Structure 1
Amino acid sequence: MVRAGLTAERLTLAGAELADEVGFDQVTVSALARRFDVKVASLYSHLRSSQDLRTRIALLALAEMADRAAAALAGRAGKDALTAFADVYRGYAREHPGRYAAARLRLDPRTAAASAGVRHAQLMRAILRGYDLAEPEQTHAVRLLGSVFHGYVDLELSGGFDHSAPDSQESWTRTLDALDALLRNWPAP
């Protein structure tokens, strides 16, 4: 019998909260069942597998980040937009480390195409229009920005900048200054 009040959406949100508490790699249907004090089998009427749960958490995280990024970008252009977008990624990762990790889960092509990940790319491309970058250079720049944002945040979250000066905030600001300068002076192919 299905426990009253359990839905795929509620389980996904609880799984996302669990990911933030214990790490995305530790999220399983079994761990979620323990959280609700139910038998694992009772959750399979809402979830197909732990991978299904992990995919749902990834989709939730992508959507949450895209919503925040869209709100942060409203009315901004150029470096202001670039900084706002980057700060959304960094802030989300600090607030929701498990969900942030989930957002980088490799999705199958069909799921990825239907996810908010597409909105992330569209938002980055909107920023890049302010730098007058056309294709294929825009794609290269999107990949560069994603790599820098994710790489910096991953290193920072893992403590990679904890034991040296200057403060990581100062380096973050300088990194964004450098990206802005690079985008304004993008090299010709």
Structure 2
Amino acid sequence: MARAGLTAQRLVAAGADLADEAGFEQVTLSALARQFDVKVASLYSHLKSSQDLRTGIALLALRELADRAGDALAGRSGKDALAALADVYRDYARDHPGRYTAARLPLDPETAAASAGVRLARMTRAVLRGYDLGEPDQTHAVRLLGSVFHGYVSLELAGGFSHSAPGSAETWPRIVDALDALLRNWPPPA
């Protein structure tokens, strides 16, 4: 019998909060059972496995990121849109480090295709329309932006930039400026 008040949605939300507090790698059904003062077996009425929980957190994080991006990008184009998208990733990672890690969880193709990750990819391509890139250059540019955003944010969260001046807050807009310049002057194929 399912414990009153426990639902898959509530467990995923609690798991997302736990991920932000303790790290995504610490999220397990056992940890959630302790949090709700129930036996692990009672959670199986709502979730199939720890992987099911982790996938739920990833999907939640992707929805939150896509919602933030949609709000941030409304009415923007060009460099303004690029900066807004970059800030969405950086701010979300700083606000929700565990969820941010979860958003990068590899998903099976069917789950990925039904996730808000598709919406995020469409928004990234919409930003790139301001730079007049055709295919396959647009795909290359999507990969470049993802690499820079995720790489910078991951290094920043790990303290990788805390040992030298200037501070990472000063570097971030410079990176966005450099990306804008590169996108406006995209090199032809070699």
Common fold: TM-score over 0.5: yes
Could you tell me which residue of structure 1 aligns to residue 130 of structure 2? 130
1:35 and 2:42 aligned = no
Could you tell me which residue of structure 2 aligns to residue 96 of structure 1? 96
Which amino acid is the alignment partner of residue 62 of structure 1?
Answer: L
CA RMSD of aligned residues (A): 0.5
Q: 1-side partners of 2:95 and 2:170: how far apart?
A: 20
Q: 2-side partners of 1:33 and 1:19: how far apart?
A: 15
* TM-score after normalising by structure 2: 0.99
Could you tell me which residue of structure 1 aligns to residue 14 of structure 2? 14
Q: Once the two structures are superposed, what CA deviation does each residue of 1:53-77 show, in whole Å capped at 9, x if it has no partner? A: 0000000000000000010000000
Structure 1 runs of 4+ aligned residues shifted over 2 Å read: none
Q: Once the two structures are superposed, what CA deviation does each residue of 1:8-61 show, in whole Å capped at 9, x if it has no partner? A: 000000000000000000100110000100000000010000000000000000
Q: 1-side partners of 2:26 and 2:135: how far apart?
A: 40
Could you tell me which residue of structure 2 aligns to residue 178 of structure 1? 178
Q: 1-side partners of 2:11 and 2:108: how far apart?
A: 21
1:63 and 2:63 aligned = yes
- Measured after TM superposition, the shift of residue 135 of structure 1 is 1.1
Structure 1: state its 5+ residue gaps.
none
- Measured after TM superposition, the shift of residue 3 of structure 1 is 0.8
| Count of paired positions | 189
Which amino acid is the alignment partner of residue 141 of structure 1?
Answer: A
Q: Once the two structures are superposed, what CA deviation does each residue of 1:76-115 show, in whole Å capped at 9, x if it has no partner? A: 0000000000100000000000000000000011111111
**For 1:39-188, what aligned pairs fall within 5 Å after superposition?**
39-188=39-188
Q: 1-side partners of 2:81 and 2:176: how far apart?
A: 11
* TM-score after normalising by structure 1: 0.99
Identity level (%): 79
